[in-house]
Amino acid sequence: MTTIAIVGAGFSGTLLTLHLLRCCPPSVKLILIERTGRFGPGLAYSTGNAGHILNVPAGRMSAFHDRPDDFLTWLRGQSATGATPEAFVPRRVFGTYVRSLLNDAVKRSEPGRLALVRGAVTAIDTASRPLALTLDRGRRVTADFVVLAAGNFPPEALPVATPAFYDSPGYRPDPWSPTALSGLKSDDAVLLIGTGLTTVDIAISLLDRGHTGPIHALSRRGLLPQRHAALPRPSPLHAPFPTSLTALTRFLRQEVRRASAEGSGWQPVVDELRPFTVDIWQSLSFPDRKRFLRHARPWWDTHRHRMAGSVADRIDAARAGGQLRISAGRVREYVTGEDRIEVRFRPRGEEMLRSLHVARVVNCSGSLTDFDRIQDPLMRSLLADGAVRPDPLRLGLDVSASCAMFDRTGALSRRLFAVGPITKGTFWEMTAVPDIRRQAGQLAEHLSVLARLVG
């Protein structure tokens, strides 16, 4: 019997497992391993806050490409009101959907076909055949193929003149920790490091708790995500997408001007790129990719990863009322007082430092992607063994177009693969459900072919 082990049972790992069950013959055994014991939705879709809304419409959230209405059908079966393709529903509802798919798969699977293992993988012996996975508590699992589905890692602390602050009780390194907002008084001032979608989520959490104190958000450019807008699509041009950064930027600006002249907006222009984003990224030269990350990425992120209208309304209201205050700049140091933290930062374009006084600092700056600095035991072990290597842009691990890992020498593994956000260096857009769904389906098909060859 051929065995495939998936290390990580968050959304990426769970979705891959569901696709493997559809693609692989019954003789293929699947082992889904999760260190937290929470199988299914992962952190992003496990939030208990109904105010955390999907930033993709429900009609595009099916787990299966060939069943595009699967999520909508499930929603309607839950007697959900307003279950339309254009609806933005709470993320926890989508998490329940994913968990229900996994539960159904477990019930339908033949005995021994799918095993759910709770535990942390600390090492993989890639020289053994089959591959040997070492787990906590001295356990061991073997598999013919292993897929790393690590998901996102917590953000990295910013370099400052006073790094000892990061060990103080006023700092929270993980915005998704249950203690990130615990112990705050309703009128306390809070600083959120970052201004992306995670900051939006934490700001909404504070508002839902009845927080009345100032909410500061600081990032290098002070860019908040844009809002989704219900706009008519411009008439199709069908012109080919350029594959150099300068030409592509010029093309998009022209398309936005054309869309505006036709009564539309920039949102449909950005959305038209979605099915081609991976192809365009892989067609860009390496220098163009570096230039994009250095100069254009913040603007791409804020236009590509948008807020649902209802969320944007709440954020706009909090800003208009003066409670949510967005700043552009860099933190230079923290000075801890008896009951307050002085945050000294340099505003963008200025030389003089300014200060904020807050009770709590929460790092919402986005996941750490440079694997040379990630301290996860399994990743450190694989890097030390030379079984994997960081991608050249430090966006994740280096993988091929078929998700196979490159080792330290550049050799391509035939048994070790990756899926999800840790493959961003090769695929770039690998965070939203439609992107991961496409990748999971293709990798499942590829592994099913390999499993048949091994079997």
Q: How many CB atoms lie within 10 A of CB 246?
A: 10
Question: What's the topology of domain 163-226+306-363?
Answer: FAD/NAD(P)-binding domain (3.50.50)
- The pLDDT tens digits for 376-418 are 999 999 999 999 999 999 999 999 999 999 999 999 999 999 9
Q: Are 363 and 157 in contact (CB under 8 A)?
A: yes
Distance CA 417, CA 437 (A): 16
Q: Where are the domains of the chain?
A: 2-153+368-454, 163-226+306-363, 245-304
pLDDT value at residue 338 = 80
What's the gap between Cα 150 and its chain centre?
Answer: 11
CATH assignment of 2-153+368-454?
A: 3.50.50.60
- Cβ of 63: how many Cβ atoms within 10 Å? 23
Domains 2-153+368-454 and 163-226+306-363 fall in the same CATH topology: yes
Identify the pLDDT of residue 408: 97
Q: Give how far the C-alpha of residue 64 lies from the chain's centroid of Cα atoms, to the nearest Å.
A: 19
pLDDT of residue 239: 86
Q: Is the pTM of this model over 0.85?
A: yes
Q: Contact 63/71 with Cβ under 8 angstroms? A: yes
Question: Which two tokens mark 147?
Answer: 């897929």
Q: What is the pLDDT along the chain (455 residues), one digit of tens a residue?
A: 899 999 998 999 999 999 999 999 999 999 999 998 888 888 778 888 888 999 889 999 999 999 999 999 999 988 766 688 888 999 999 999 999 999 999 999 999 899 999 999 999 999 999 999 999 999 999 999 999 999 889 899 999 999 999 999 999 999 988 899 999 999 999 999 999 999 999 999 999 999 999 999 999 999 999 999 887 788 777 889 999 999 999 999 999 999 999 989 999 999 999 889 999 999 999 999 999 999 999 999 999 999 999 999 999 999 999 999 999 999 999 999 888 999 999 999 999 999 999 999 999 998 999 999 999 999 999 999 999 999 999 999 999 999 999 999 999 999 999 999 999 999 998 988 889 999 999 999 999 999 988 76
DSSP string covering 307-333, please? B-HHHHHHHHHHHHTTSEEEEEEEEEE
pLDDT at 432: 85
Laid out side by side, the sheet with 121-125 consists of 121-125, 131-135, 140-143
- 71-92 burial code (b ≥16 CB/10 A, e <16): bbebbeeeeeeebeeebbbbbb
**What burial letters (b/e) apply to 202-213, b meaning 16+ CB within 10 Å?**
bbbbbbeeebeb
CB 277 within 8 A of CB 324: no
What are 203-237's pLDDT values in tens digits?
999 999 999 999 999 999 999 999 998 877 887 77
For residue 76, list its beta bridge partners.
none
Q: What is the pLDDT of residue 37?
A: 80
